[in-house]
Structure 1
């Protein structure tokens, strides 16, 4: 990468390739009356222009019933057309496509396409869409899923509790914003189609494209080259992908679409998007009694991708605490926005933010230090595996140890002393300390906790490792070969990884849900162990010895009583033929956890928040590569800072996002806004695999936002938590600073 040898989809040059430009709706909701592509076809260099009416056999966008993401009932009667047929349901939805010899001419052609749309009222929040006064699909409710986790709580629990607190939170819509936007290149070759795409799930893409084209999967090859980030946003078969593949086959010519940044901001997937109401009860000693979480989630204009995603929040509502009664309810609601889909953390940041903000609210109500309140209610290490009231089964954990390390690293008592000093000085800027303890789920849901792969030893002593995952920047190219090399006892350089190519590895699930190390890593460890067993068996047969008299050491086999007779792996292959093992390996669900702590300084007159210090303590079980895990923790924490302080979709009265000036309208934290971040770890191995690894990629998005918001609330001592909704813009902080404070004498 640093030498300029990286190869992304946009770097692949194919003779005769046509570039695609899409004509997009300027309105959020409207009835499409006509699309005229006539003038576009006359533009020099344009090879063709099509609307949905011109492509009657264009298939719709597919959906896959991935666990927790889609249901038959939700999608019935709600087809997502690859090009709009009759109704626009989100701003930027594709009305037509123009193909040309290059993107410049394609854009010129797209500018000549005219469309007639009768605008309709737009709804961009669950609250606006819930009453069905504006329906996205005629005759069908905007509420496409109702779900719950846990059991309803008896009213007597709330009535008899010593303290009950309530609050409402908004988890704003976020843009994943990977460095490389979406891209797809479809190259037809006779009865075959090769598709290049920066994609997280190449085998899913192959399967869905085959179904759309009516082909067998062995006629399609999907290759994932270098990919510039994804964060969950590149794991679907998008409308543009359907159009590109369809036209490539129809025309018999390569077709490419490289999404530009403006398109990405308008029509790439969204993350988060929940309105939450919470209620938390405790006894006089601060022991939690009951927790109720109500979720209204805006899932975008179509239910195909993320309709069940809010259930992840419901299932993780318990957090790190031994709350006897927990009940979470979900309504997934269609809105006139691009679809909501998994974004780094995918449901768990929303759960952690809700419970952790409310824990601080309860601590203030009871007059208990928020740290002490958490310690009194942690699930103890001896209780694992722990069955939560919402149906999760936590595998292992020591939550108090993570919190203790975070506080020690932060210097908690010293900052509390500084806070007291500032509160006694009328001229000092308010200072706040916030913590957030989180538990997340990694690896995926049952039915998706397996991975495919193989190891093949060659005559030169090298080993090829094949795997069903696809790296989007996590460092698989170094981490996985090192893991295999460690098990085999050979140098890392002798192992080559092959992934992201459905011809090389015919089966696979991909990279999502922080599953790569936990599931694919365990698979490769298992395959390496099997390779050793096969090598010992071959050596035993070659030498006429029992297998139990053959030992393996440092990439060689030798008789147990004659180490001098060691035979290298390459020589064994030369003597006995090709040596290859392949498998489908099933792992267990894992539950990483951690504690994040933040110190913030707030200027009440300007509404600005200055993060003085941020500590992230994460536990992902066995760490395969400390440098990679550290990088994941820092990067994820930066995205957590973005949600807490800067990022968020806003809309005009017409439902169109306020994104005219790109990243001047949608703020991302840059190097100048990132505070000192200290990353520490505890290590509690997962019992789900012999490898013991848990997911490591999503920790900061889950733990950091609530820690920052809690720190600002602590600095301002506000009585109404509803005043601090993310992102904490200067306007919101300024208004909160002028609101009534909570009672003196409490934290």
Structure 2
């Protein structure tokens, strides 16, 4: 059953409109919240007048920070030190630090009433200068927090590289890259309902990736025991990292429900999702690479100023991930990275699909192409000369990771074959000779970091012959409802239809970490695999007692236990007494990898880019359900295409958002999706029973540098500064000149 292309069982429900999202949940007496947000990016908050808002018929309450002074600060997601001196108030107090920061909440009998009240509020702010670029903000001319610099955290990875290395190298290339700020644009924005319970407890429905983390944060915030808070995650319309956190609006909604003694709901709309948090990426990168005349890289240096927005809620997590993956697929003896997490007058950032790995791949892969161009070598050959060799795994990188396994050359060679690399190089030469519209070929080889921490899994036999699998993961569209039962059924030797998955409810699943960082199958699936194996062994032990034979004589096969010509089943054993096995699994992180290759045509007169062909070869280890993984690969590749060519959150010079709708923030549609060829190699994960590595983020990592390298190749531009993402027609038209 492992490796079978089983159709997703959840699709029948979702595609016919029978999904149950937070907005579909009806709770008796529920009120709606709307947030009053400041329009100024930086300024002293002089007052919030809510009298007119309170006078709107149907408005139940309207509060600013002055009315809710005991609201706890927004909890940091991972690194408390980064936020300790820069607390994030759920409702702005004293100063606003980004346009769209909530300054008050209006509670109404429905969303329309709440919005009418919101629009009636009057906010007075004395504007201050705003700083938007992280590199500029690091200089500190404009300070977001009086008495503190704008660098919230600074770290170094690897040893500094001696000047003799740079002076003695045959060639040194330098560049500066901008990883533009992106919006998560999940189909369903953030959403939460909080219902107060008798005795002070809370029941919460949320569109979220980590229900147990949300339960812990809410319990801590309001002084409750964790078991007094129940978090339920229904169907989720995408997340991409932006629904892992406990956001300030969640604290306000919970406080409102507690104060009013009634359920309160907040459904973020698209404008709020585009202009407010979470955003992703936003790095200013400066690189330097030294190599010999043969193209062998001897040193690589990367300096990162990462814009984390107005509050360092996620600290240095994303730039740290970039730093630790900085060397990519290459055996480079000297790698040194300096990262700075910098606050700016923009909405706070969060992990966004890939979370640091796309930024690392973009920096090194564009620089490898720059090196190849400087030396007059084929970019594929330069990569081959520098790959970590298969026999060198496990490989300890200079920045501190240990890559588990890989064959990077095999992935690149497969990508070149699938692309028909030789044909397109010939076509490129023919077009140049004929003076036709230029085409370019771009490559990227990437290494991904997948999975972290532990995960809970349990399998229980039921008296009716079915099985229940419980997981601490939490699907946000990945297909857990199909793939996890597939894993359990493979161990038990029964049909997958006999296995039902339960996750996303803290009252039923005792503990869990959640779904992010491509960890679900690698860790959560492996925990279920192990739990199912334990269930078989416990069933053999119980059957031995029931049949009066030694355990060694009991054989388990396809859901039946046999010994001495007599049989029983897990269902019969479960009818006598509960039959369940739990497991908590915490393997080392895994390192999937792959190669992308792209062919583009650039219109030199209008600057338009047409992707003629795109190939993605990925190595996820053992793939449990190729149909589901293919779907994730397609989606991730299209998001990577969006970053390369279309997407970008823009602000005016004063910090006001300019991308307030999907007419301004451009997403690729099916009309823009190029011919896409997916292929795989398989290097099993040596540290898990399934052999699986993470999948789902590969396209966001590999596609953007492949596209940008292809455009640079088409335009024959050696200056990387001329081609910064997104490669809009104006950017390409300018570069062509």
- TM-score band w.r.t. shorter chain: over 0.9
Does the aligned pair in 2 maintain the 1:206–1:222 contact within 8 Å?
A: yes
Matches within 5 A, 1:384-533: 384-426=393-435, 428-444=436-452, 449-533=453-537
Structure 1, residues 185-210: CA drift from partner, whole Å, max 9, x if none?
00112122100001000000000000
Structure 1, residues 292-338: CA drift from partner, whole Å, max 9, x if none?
11111111000122433201111001100111111111111100011
2:434 is paired with a residue of what secondary structure? coil
Q: Following the alignment from structure 1 to structure 2, what is the Cα–Cα distance between the partners of residues 39 and 431?
A: 60
Does the aligned pair in 2 maintain the 1:464–1:498 contact within 8 Å?
A: yes
Structure 1, residues 673-718: CA drift from partner, whole Å, max 9, x if none?
1101111111111111111111101000000000000000000001
Aligned to 1:605: 605
1:128 shift after superposition: 2.3
Q: Following the alignment from structure 2 to structure 1, what is the Cα–Cα distance between the partners of residues 269 and 684?
A: 42
Aligned to 1:536: 540
Does the aligned pair in 1 maintain the 2:600–2:714 contact within 8 Å?
A: yes
1:14 is paired with a residue of what secondary structure? coil
Aligned to 2:569: 568
1:209 is paired with a residue of what secondary structure? helix
Q: Following the alignment from structure 1 to structure 2, what is the Cα–Cα distance between the partners of residues 99 and 378?
A: 58
Does the aligned pair in 2 maintain the 1:596–1:617 contact within 8 Å?
A: yes
2:139 is paired with a residue of what secondary structure? coil
Alignment of 1:128 onto 2:136: yes
1:289 shift after superposition: 0.5
Aligned to 2:239: 230
1:588 shift after superposition: 1.8
1:583 shift after superposition: 2.3
Alignment of 1:75 onto 2:52: no
| Structure 2: stretches of 5+ with no match in the other structure | 1-13
Aligned to 1:102: 110
1:601 is paired with a residue of what secondary structure? strand
| Structure 1: stretches of 5+ with no match in the other structure | 739-747
1:109 shift after superposition: 0.8
1:478 shift after superposition: 0.7
Aligned to 2:127: 119
Aligned to 2:727: 728
1:119 shift after superposition: 0.6
Structure 1, residues 609-661: CA drift from partner, whole Å, max 9, x if none?
0000000000110101000100011100000000000011221121112124x
Aligned to 1:692: 691
Q: Following the alignment from structure 2 to structure 1, what is the Cα–Cα distance between the partners of residues 328 and 653?
A: 37
Aligned to 2:706: 707
Q: Following the alignment from structure 1 to structure 2, what is the Cα–Cα distance between the partners of residues 58 and 371?
A: 56
Q: Following the alignment from structure 2 to structure 1, what is the Cα–Cα distance between the partners of residues 70 and 361?
A: 45
Q: Following the alignment from structure 1 to structure 2, what is the Cα–Cα distance between the partners of residues 271 and 3?
A: 32
Does the aligned pair in 2 maintain the 1:271–1:343 contact within 8 Å?
A: yes
1:130 is paired with a residue of what secondary structure? helix
Aligned to 1:549: 553
Q: Following the alignment from structure 1 to structure 2, what is the Cα–Cα distance between the partners of residues 719 and 507?
A: 52
Does the aligned pair in 1 maintain the 2:22–2:206 contact within 8 Å?
A: yes
Aligned to 2:309: 300
1:309 is paired with a residue of what secondary structure? helix
Does the aligned pair in 2 maintain the 1:615–1:678 contact within 8 Å?
A: yes
The 4+ residue runs of structure 1 with deviation greater than 4 A are: none
Q: Following the alignment from structure 1 to structure 2, what is the Cα–Cα distance between the partners of residues 475 and 126?
A: 37
Alignment of 1:176 onto 2:184: yes
Does the aligned pair in 2 maintain the 1:306–1:340 contact within 8 Å?
A: no
Q: Following the alignment from structure 1 to structure 2, what is the Cα–Cα distance between the partners of residues 177 and 149?
A: 32
Q: Following the alignment from structure 1 to structure 2, what is the Cα–Cα distance between the partners of residues 490 and 346?
A: 38
Does the aligned pair in 1 maintain the 2:33–2:106 contact within 8 Å?
A: yes
1:453 is paired with a residue of what secondary structure? strand
Alignment of 1:272 onto 2:285: no
1:111 is paired with a residue of what secondary structure? helix
Q: Following the alignment from structure 2 to structure 1, what is the Cα–Cα distance between the partners of residues 316 and 67?
A: 31
Structure 1, residues 241-261: CA drift from partner, whole Å, max 9, x if none?
000011111111000000000
Structure 1, residues 363-394: CA drift from partner, whole Å, max 9, x if none?
01111100111011111111100001111100
Q: Following the alignment from structure 1 to structure 2, what is the Cα–Cα distance between the partners of residues 507 and 76?
A: 27
Q: Following the alignment from structure 2 to structure 1, what is the Cα–Cα distance between the partners of residues 169 and 585?
A: 48
Alignment of 1:154 onto 2:162: yes
2:713 is paired with a residue of what secondary structure? helix
1:432 is paired with a residue of what secondary structure? strand
Q: Following the alignment from structure 2 to structure 1, what is the Cα–Cα distance between the partners of residues 234 and 204?
A: 11
Aligned to 1:30: 43
1:345 to 339, 343, 354: 354
Structure 1, residues 335-368: CA drift from partner, whole Å, max 9, x if none?
0011111000000000001100010110011111
The TM-score normalised by the length of structure 1 is 0.96
Aligned to 2:382: 373
Q: Following the alignment from structure 1 to structure 2, what is the Cα–Cα distance between the partners of residues 721 and 55?
A: 50
Aligned to 1:12: 25
1:566 shift after superposition: 2.9
Aligned to 1:745: none
Aligned to 2:8: none
Does the aligned pair in 2 maintain the 1:306–1:342 contact within 8 Å?
A: no
Alignment of 1:260 onto 2:273: no
Q: Report which stretch shifted further, 645-654 or 252-261.
A: 645-654
1:400 is paired with a residue of what secondary structure? helix
Alignment of 1:21 onto 2:21: no
Alignment of 1:143 onto 2:142: no
Q: Following the alignment from structure 2 to structure 1, what is the Cα–Cα distance between the partners of residues 285 and 80?
A: 23
Aligned to 1:614: 614
The TM-score normalised by the length of structure 2 is 0.97
Does the aligned pair in 1 maintain the 2:153–2:315 contact within 8 Å?
A: no
1:71 shift after superposition: 4.2
1:409 is paired with a residue of what secondary structure? helix
Q: Following the alignment from structure 2 to structure 1, what is the Cα–Cα distance between the partners of residues 61 and 712?
A: 57
Aligned to 2:585: 585
Does the aligned pair in 2 maintain the 1:306–1:339 contact within 8 Å?
A: no
RMSD: 0.9
Q: Following the alignment from structure 2 to structure 1, what is the Cα–Cα distance between the partners of residues 168 and 157?
A: 23
Count how many residue pairs are aligned between Structure 1 and Structure 2. 723
Q: Following the alignment from structure 1 to structure 2, what is the Cα–Cα distance between the partners of residues 245 and 132?
A: 36
